[in-house]
Structure 1
C-alpha cells in the first residue's frame, strides 16, 4: 500500500506500547482514522502520546470497534493466535506488522538483520561503521526504537539499519530490504510457535522473500540451519538476491572469512582487512557478527580502512557480555540479553575461567540439552532464579558443581557472590525472558549492575 491511499482508511492498531504507538502516530499523520486497542493497561507515556495526537484508543480488552477496520496493524508482543487477529483473518482483513507499514513510507535503502542471537550487536555495529564513514544512518526496529519513528524522515541518501524479529516478519507483505542479513537460527520462542521449530525458522526466512536481483542476502555459512535453508530458499527463486556468505571455519566464494587468523573480504576483489584478535568484542559469536557487518558495510561502499577502524573501536552493547566490575578477583558479567539457550552457549564459549551462572526467568519452551556439556565443563555453580528456577536446577544442576535456588533476584546475586572465588566469573546469562520479574531484559541487567556495584 502507498501512503497516498491511507487517507480516510479505518485502521486498528493492536497493542499500545512502543511500536504500536509509533505506527499509530505515523498513520494518523497521513490521514488514516486510527483506533488503538490494548488487552492490558497502557503505560502513561504512551497514553500521553495518543491523547496529544487525538488518537482514539481503548485498554483492558478489545471491543467490537477494534474489528471495524479496513486492516489491522499488530505489535510484536501480540501473538498471531490472539482472538482479535484470528477474527480479523477470518473476516478477510489484512493484518500487518509495524515494520511492514513503516516500510511504505521509507525512501532510504534498508539493511535488515535477523537471527536468533546477535541481532542487536550486529545492528549497532553497522550503525557505528556507517557513521564512521560519514553516512547519515537511522538504527532501530526491534532494538526498542520503532521503524515508524523515522521511516518518513529518512531520505534516499541515508541508510536505515533494522533489527527484525520473527514476530515482526510474521505479518509482512511487501517489506523488502536492500540488504538482508541472516545471522543464525536456533530454537527460541517455541511457546509462540506451538513448539514447532520449522515454523519459527520459516518465519525468519521471510526476511528475503520479497528481495529481487538488485538486492543482497548475507548469511552465516557456519550455521547449519541457515546454510541448508538458504540453499532451499535460493533454489526456489528465479530472480533472487545475490548471495554473500561469511565463515570463521573456512573460505567462501563471495563474502568474508578468516584465514590464518586474518579477516579476509571477497566481494569484488580479495582484501585482507585485519587480524581477528584486534576485535574488542569477545567470543566466536562476535567474530561472526563482525564478519556479517563487514560484508554489509563493504556492499554499501564503506572503504576498507573505515571498516577496519570501526571494527577496532566498537565496544559492544549493554547487557551482552558486559563486564560490570572486578572485585576480589571475581569478574561480574552482565549478559541479561541472553534470553534463550543458544545465547547462553555463546556466553559460555566466550569465557575461559570457572563460571558461577545465574539463570532463570520466564521459560519459552527451552531445551537445555545443547549447553549441558559446556555447563559440565565450565560452570562451578548454578544459581537458579525466577519462574523457571525449578527447571533450571533440574536440567543444569547435575552438570554443575553445585546448585542453589534463589528466592529473589537480589538473593541470586548475593548467593553468586558468596559462591564465587578469586579467578571466577559470575555470569548473569538467564536463558529466559525477564517478564516474570521485570519489564524488560534491560531492567534486569540494570538491577544486576547496581547490585554488583554495591557489593
Structure 2
C-alpha cells in the first residue's frame, strides 16, 4: 500500500520553522537535507540539546523572539502545533500567501512509507505504542513518531522506515491539508482543548475527522462505533477508505471490524484476512478502555496482514507507557499510580473506572474549560479524598464538595503525596490523574509525573 504524497508545497527556497522543540528541530534537519535555506525561530528559550544539534547541522536560529523580517520572507512556514492560531505572528502570516503547514505534512512529502495514523481525545499514546509494539514484534521495519518519541521529520531524514505509526493531536491535524493516512484510527472524541476551538464542540470534532481527509479506496478507516460524537461526525465526514468499526456494545458478529463475542473474546474480522480471536482476559492491558485500544491496534495490524501469533504475543506482553496508569510502587499496602498524562476529564474517568475503591485522587492544574459532571458518580462510589495540585482549583472544589468527604489543597507535588500517604489505608490506591494541563507548576505532564514518582519513592 504505497503512500506517495504529492508535493503541493515549494521544493526549494526559504523555509522558516516556528518552534524549536522535537518537531521543529527535526523539520529543520529534513529541510536542510533537502537543500532549503532554513531558519528556526522560537519565542521561548531552546533546550541546550536542541541548540547543540542546530549548531552541529549549521542551521541558523533565534530564541526568545520572532524577528518578523527574517520570517515574513519565507517561501514555506512549518509551525509547531503548540503555537495557537490567535498568536499575533500566526495571524499576520495568515494574511500573506505563504503556506503554513505542520512538520508531519512536510515530512510526508519525502517518504513512500505506509502511514498508520492515530488520533482521539484519550488513549492515543497507549494505542500508538501498542500498535508500534505489534508491528515491531512482527518483524516489520517500523518507526513511531508524531506526538510521541523522535520527530517524524528526523526519522524520514535519517532512518527510513517502511511503516510509521504516528500519534496525531488535533493541533497537528489543523495544519495538515494534503496529507494522506493509509490507515486512520479515530479512537474517541470527548471535550478537550475547547479553548483552542472557541468552545465549539463541532469545531473540535471536525479537527479530529481531518485524519480521514484525502484517503483513497485502498486505505482503511478504523473507528469506535460506540462513541456518540464519532457516530454523529460520520454524518458530515465521509471517506473512500474501507470502514472498520470496533465495538463492545454490539456482541453479535459485524460484517467487518472488531467486536467482543458472548464468550468475552475479541474478534477481529477483515475481508480476505484470517480472523483473529483472543480472550480479553489474556490482554496485558486490562479495563474497558484498553479493550478498545487493543481492538484498534489489532485492526491496524490485521489490515497489514500481520500474523495472528505475533499479534497475540504482543497483546499478551505489552507494558504500558510511562505516565499513563503507570504503577509506581506499593508502600504499606497502598498502591501509587502515575496517570499524569490524563490531561482531560474523560481520561480521569477511564482511570477511575480501572481501579477499585478506595481511591485518593490527586488532581488539578490549568483548567481547560472542564465539565466535571461525568466524574460525579465515580467520585461518589470510589474516591475517599481529593487532593488538589495547581494554582487555582476552585472549580474542582465546587464540582465535588458534596461527593467526597475530603477535598484539600496542597502546596507542591511532594506535599500532595505526603497528604495522600496519611489519608490512604492498606488496600487503597493513590492516583495522580489531574484532568488539567500542567504548566502552572510543572514544565509538562512528564515533569509532573516524574515529580510524583520522586515524591512517592521519598516516602
- Name which of 280, 298, 302 aligns with 2:302: 298
What is the aligned partner in structure 2 of residue 247 from structure 1?
247
State the alpha-carbon separation in 2 of the partners of residues 409 and 31 from structure 1: 47
- Name which of 139, 151, 154 aligns with 1:146: 151
Which digits, 9 at most, give the CA deviation of each residue in 1:214-246, with x for residues without a partner? 110000111111122124322xx5xx1110010
Secondary structure in structure 1 of the residue aligned to 2:266:
strand
State the alpha-carbon separation in 2 of the partners of residues 112 and 70 from structure 1: 28
Secondary structure in structure 2 of the residue aligned to 1:192:
helix
Paired residues for 1:111-130 under 5 Å: 111-130=116-135
1:398 Cα deviation from its structure 2 partner: 2.5
1:263 aligns with 2:263: no
State the alpha-carbon separation in 2 of the partners of residues 200 and 244 from structure 1: 22
In 2, are the aligned partners of 1:382 and 1:393 still within 8 Å (CA)?
Answer: no
Secondary structure in structure 2 of the residue aligned to 1:443:
helix
1:99 aligns with 2:81: no
Which runs of no fewer than 5 residues in structure 1 stay unpaired?
Answer: none
Secondary structure in structure 2 of the residue aligned to 1:203:
helix
- Name which of 47, 55, 58 aligns with 2:51: 47
What is the aligned partner in structure 1 of residue 206 from structure 2?
202
State the alpha-carbon separation in 2 of the partners of residues 18 and 398 from structure 1: 44
In 1, are the aligned partners of 2:267 and 2:277 still within 8 Å (CA)?
Answer: yes
**Pair 1:361–1:4, CA change in 2 (3 A):** closer
What is the aligned partner in structure 2 of residue 16 from structure 1?
20
In 2, are the aligned partners of 1:108 and 1:154 still within 8 Å (CA)?
Answer: no
In 1, are the aligned partners of 2:219 and 2:242 still within 8 Å (CA)?
Answer: yes
Paired residues for 1:20-419 under 5 Å: 20-64=24-68, 65-153=70-158, 155=160, 158-234=162-238, 237=239, 240-250=240-250, 251=252, 252-260=254-262, 261-268=264-271, 271=275, 273-419=277-423
Which runs of no fewer than 5 residues in structure 2 stay unpaired?
Answer: 1-5
Secondary structure in structure 2 of the residue aligned to 1:333:
strand
State the alpha-carbon separation in 1 of the partners of residues 81 and 392 from structure 2: 23
Structure 1 segments (4+ residues) deviating >4 Å: 153-156
State the alpha-carbon separation in 2 of the partners of residues 365 and 23 from structure 1: 32
1:434 aligns with 2:458: no
In 2, are the aligned partners of 1:6 and 1:27 still within 8 Å (CA)?
Answer: no
In 1, are the aligned partners of 2:413 and 2:455 still within 8 Å (CA)?
Answer: no
In 2, are the aligned partners of 1:85 and 1:95 still within 8 Å (CA)?
Answer: no
In 2, are the aligned partners of 1:106 and 1:154 still within 8 Å (CA)?
Answer: no
State the alpha-carbon separation in 2 of the partners of residues 274 and 388 from structure 1: 46
Which digits, 9 at most, give the CA deviation of each residue in 1:313-351, with x for residues without a partner? 111111111111112221111111101101000001111
In 2, are the aligned partners of 1:110 and 1:162 still within 8 Å (CA)?
Answer: yes
State the alpha-carbon separation in 1 of the partners of residues 184 and 330 from structure 2: 39
State the alpha-carbon separation in 1 of the partners of residues 111 and 71 from structure 2: 27
**Pair 1:215–1:141, CA change in 2 (3 A):** same
**Pair 1:25–1:152, CA change in 2 (3 A):** closer
1:113 Cα deviation from its structure 2 partner: 0.3
1:117 Cα deviation from its structure 2 partner: 0.7
1:82 Cα deviation from its structure 2 partner: 1.4
Give the paired residue count: 449
1:4 Cα deviation from its structure 2 partner: 10
1:5 Cα deviation from its structure 2 partner: 5.1
1:272 Cα deviation from its structure 2 partner: 5.0
Secondary structure in structure 1 of the residue aligned to 2:199:
coil
What is the aligned partner in structure 1 of residue 452 from structure 2?
448
State the alpha-carbon separation in 2 of the partners of residues 244 and 198 from structure 1: 23
State the alpha-carbon separation in 1 of the partners of residues 23 and 371 from structure 2: 30
1:153 Cα deviation from its structure 2 partner: 4.7
Which digits, 9 at most, give the CA deviation of each residue in 1:62-115, with x for residues without a partner? 222211111211001111221111111111221101100011111210000000
- Of 45-54 and 328-337, more deviation after overlay is shown by 45-54
1:409 Cα deviation from its structure 2 partner: 1.2
State the alpha-carbon separation in 2 of the partners of residues 59 and 131 from structure 1: 38
State the alpha-carbon separation in 2 of the partners of residues 70 and 353 from structure 1: 57
1:28 Cα deviation from its structure 2 partner: 1.1
